[in-house]
């Protein structure tokens, strides 16, 4: 008993010492930040609040963009994916700007960078925190090799309307599960040390209530009474912040009539005062100026006023801060102390990323793109994410000697199986079910039948029926293309699109057992065909390794 007490005393003492050390380190960092801010011009402070991007089609970096970096007018970049550009811009910032403040390079690295894991909704269906953490870790290892040190993930919007396109990115409907996954994602992206050059700063998004958009319509308003807000929608954000997420992104939507990007109650009282958040808040793309479209801001200047005073630190793409901070200060609508507060939050994260000591992309870090261990982890994640919804007479698993008719638009669609938000995924590395059947030298025939999921043509139905009649079992790879889910891709009808239901009805007339494999970015209604099939496997959009996963 005495030994236990001594051990407990030792642990508590050690924790106390670590807290003292961390407090001293924090105090030193804050002192450095204070010194930097004291040397900054107003223009340079405004620059730290600016998140800018380049087009992927840009062949040469614009001279004006480089000059803006040289003058300290940009704090961070998004979507700069040519490593030469990353290196050049960071060199200008560190060596040629007045105070040498480094840039942060950011990207939407959601469920994989090159090696693509199942969509987040699929990962949620695994009910496995380690799987989510692994997906984030592999994403960070691969993405950071391009200089990306800040990802706009995890998306933590509780979503309960399957018509909403962005349900694909969500952790689902349950706040407890979402909270567990939030912690896992943050730990995966960041490791236990944000200074690690293979770590990415996570960004908990979208704050708040984006998944509660009325009617499942993207960007729509959300009406959420306070107990529901606190007990459901805020929970995963609390978990992410407690896990160390240093940035938060505001949502496009209004919450009870007030756009999130200008909502002082949400950003200052709830997020900072109650949730003890000390990182920085970034707007979503143009969400500051979209307060005008909401009818909440009169013009861009008013939008800047609302966002600045609400506590929104960094403005993504739009330029209301650039254009109006000086005037707002002169008119007394914004105080310089508020500008300094926002700048301090941004610099703090740059220190946490160790960018002042190691600002440059680690060129020896290759990212191990598509490494065998990465592919194996993606495969394991897709297996755990798959959900068996029906298995009449235990038809699955099939014997390897079974003669199979492989049919459907998703059987050989390498890009589509990756799902939404996979800007950097490459279909050339995507292994489809058709390839997996081929590689396994299985006994099968293949009729794609429909060119894509929305195809309404029935001209190949006869060939599909013939293949079915000659087989022991029919496996239909159905669902929806990647473009049918994601931002601005809500659907009013979530049945299988195109002629897929008609195809299944035609195949059912052969009397042959049918296994339906659904690849989609949302739950799909199958009431019309559930009695026509013998087994249903929900695979979501499973990612790079969909083929081997589904074949196995």
**DSSP-derived secondary structure for 389-426:** EEEGGG-PSPPTT--EEEESTTTT-TTGGG-SS-TT--
| Cα 38 from Cα 450, distance rounded (Å) | 64
Q: Are 92 and 66 in contact (CB under 8 A)?
A: yes
| Cα 21 from Cα 2, distance rounded (Å) | 29
Going by C-alpha positions, the residue among 212, 226, 199, 210 that lies closest to residue 161 is 212
- Other beta carbons less than 10 A from residue 48's beta carbon: 28
C-alpha to C-alpha distances, 465 to 53, 58, 81, nearest whole angstrom = 51, 49, 46
| Cα 436 from Cα 69, distance rounded (Å) | 48
Instruction: State the catalytic residues.
Output: 284
Cβ burial, residue 398 (10 Å; 0-12/13-18/19+) = middle
C-alpha to C-alpha distances, 82 to 137, 146, 173, 275, 426, nearest whole angstrom = 22, 8, 37, 37, 16
Residue entry with tokens 């087009």: 55
Q: Are 327 and 320 in contact (CB under 8 A)?
A: no
CB within 8 Å of 103: residues ≥ 6 apart: 69, 74, 75, 76, 77, 89, 90, 93, 355, 359
């Amino acid at each position: 008993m005495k030994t236990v007490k001594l051990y407990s005393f030792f642990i508590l003492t050690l924790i106390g010492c670590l807290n003292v050390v961390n407090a001293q380190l924090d105090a030193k960092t804050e002192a450095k930040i204070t010194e930097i801010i004291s040397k900054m011009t107003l223009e340079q402070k405004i620059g730290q609040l600016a998140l800018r991007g380049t087009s992927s089609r840009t062949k040469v970096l614009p001279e004006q963009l480089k000059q803006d970096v040289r003058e300290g007018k940009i704090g961070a970049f998004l979507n700069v994916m040519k490593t030469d550009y990353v290196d050049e811009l960071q060199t200008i910032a560190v060596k040629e700007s007045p105070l040498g403040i480094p840039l942060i390079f950011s990207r939407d690295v959601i469920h994989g960078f090159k090696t693509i894991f199942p969509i987040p909704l699929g990962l949620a269906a695994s009910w496995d925190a380690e799987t989510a953490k692994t997906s984030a870790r592999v994403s960070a290892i691969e993405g950071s090799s391009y200089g990306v040190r800040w990802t706009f993930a995890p998306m933590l919007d509780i979503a309960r309307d399957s018509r909403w396109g962005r349900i694909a990115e969500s952790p689902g409907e349950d706040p407890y599960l979402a909270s567990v996954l939030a912690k896992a994602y943050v730990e995966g992206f960041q490791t236990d040390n944000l200074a690690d050059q293979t770590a990415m700063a996570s960004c908990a998004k979208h704050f708040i209530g984006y998944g509660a958009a009325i009617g499942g319509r993207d960007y729509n308003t959300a009406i959420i009474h306070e107990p529901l807000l606190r007990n459901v929608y805020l929970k995963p954000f609390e978990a992410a912040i407690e896990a160390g997420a240093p940035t938060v992104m505001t949502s496009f939507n209004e919450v009870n009539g007030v756009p999130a990007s200008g909502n002082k109650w949400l950003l200052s009282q709830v997020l900072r005062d109650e949730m003890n958040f000390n990182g920085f808040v970034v707007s979503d793309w143009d969400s500051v100026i979209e307060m005008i479209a909401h009818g909440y801001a009169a013009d861009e200047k008013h939008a800047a006023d609302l966002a600045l005073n609400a506590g929104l630190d960094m403005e993504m793409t739009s330029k209301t801060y650039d254009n109006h901070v000086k005037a707002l200060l002169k008119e007394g609508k914004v105080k310089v102390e508020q500008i300094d507060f926002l700048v301090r939050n941004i610099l703090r994260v740059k220190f946490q990323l160790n960018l002042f000591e190691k600002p440059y992309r680690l060129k020896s870090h290759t990212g191990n793109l598509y490494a065998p261990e990465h592919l194996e982890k993606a495969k394991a994640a897709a297996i755990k994410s798959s959900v068996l919804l029906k298995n009449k007479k235990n038809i699955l698993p099939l014997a390897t000697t079974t003669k199979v008719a492989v049919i459907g638009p998703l059987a050989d669609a390498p890009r589509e199986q990756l799902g939404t938000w996979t800007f950097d995924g490459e279909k050339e590395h995507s292994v489809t079910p058709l390839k997996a059947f081929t590689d396994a030298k299985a006994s099968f025939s293949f009729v794609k039948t429909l060119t894509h999921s929305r195809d309404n043509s029935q001209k190949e139905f006869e060939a599909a029926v013939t293949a079915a009649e000659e087989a022991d079992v029919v496996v239909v790879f159905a669902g929806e293309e990647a473009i049918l889910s994601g931002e601005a891709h809500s659907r009013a009808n979530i049945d299988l699109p195109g002629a897929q239901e008609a195809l299944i009805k035609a195949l059912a007339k052969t009397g042959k057992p049918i296994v339906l494999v659904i690849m989609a970015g949302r739950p799909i209604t199958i009431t019309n065909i559930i009695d026509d099939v013998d087994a249903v496997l929900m695979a979501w959009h499973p990612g790079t390794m969909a083929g081997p996963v589904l074949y196995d």
